[in-house]
Amino acid sequence: MPFEEGNKLGNRFDSDNQPDKQKVGRKKKPDLIAVLEAALLKEVKEGVTMEDVIINQLMKLAGKGDLRAINSVLDRIHGKPDLRVQTEVTNVTPQILILPPQTDIRPYLNEADVIDPTEQND
């Protein structure tokens, strides 16, 4: 029987059946920022780094009127503008008029025009 004492086969959640934390997990990848910085500082030509090439190309595109390049340059120099949203909260309850069934009174849109059916004289 799987639930008899001493049976280890049916006990999946026992601590003996758990994987070791040192053996399981993702392999540590190199730091992406460090890899990118090393790639940017690599010399393409004598005295010219990849960073210089990228900046020159970005400035050429911005000079030709490329809006993405212009925004990229301005965002790096001046920072991105704050997006401010104005919200207005009102404590107005929706006007809901519940009429009793089989009445000849039609619903009104203005609160001042609403007639109380209990006070109505026929």
pLDDT tens by residue, 36-70: 999 999 998 899 999 999 999 999 999 999 999 99
Q: What is the pTM of this model?
A: 0.43
Q: What number of CA atoms fall less than 13 Å from residue 112's CA on the CB side? A: 0
What pLDDT is attached to residue 53? 93
The identity of residue 43, as a single letter, is: E
* CA–CA distance, 18 with 13 (Å, rounded to integer): 7
* CA–CA distance, 100 with 120 (Å, rounded to integer): 14
Is the predicted pLDDT of residue 95 greater than 80, yes or no? no
User: What mean pLDDT is reported for the chain?
Assistant: 77
**Can you give the residue ranges of every domain in the chain?**
29-78
* CA–CA distance, 58 with 97 (Å, rounded to integer): 63
Residues contacting 73, CB < 8 A, separation 6+: 58, 59, 62
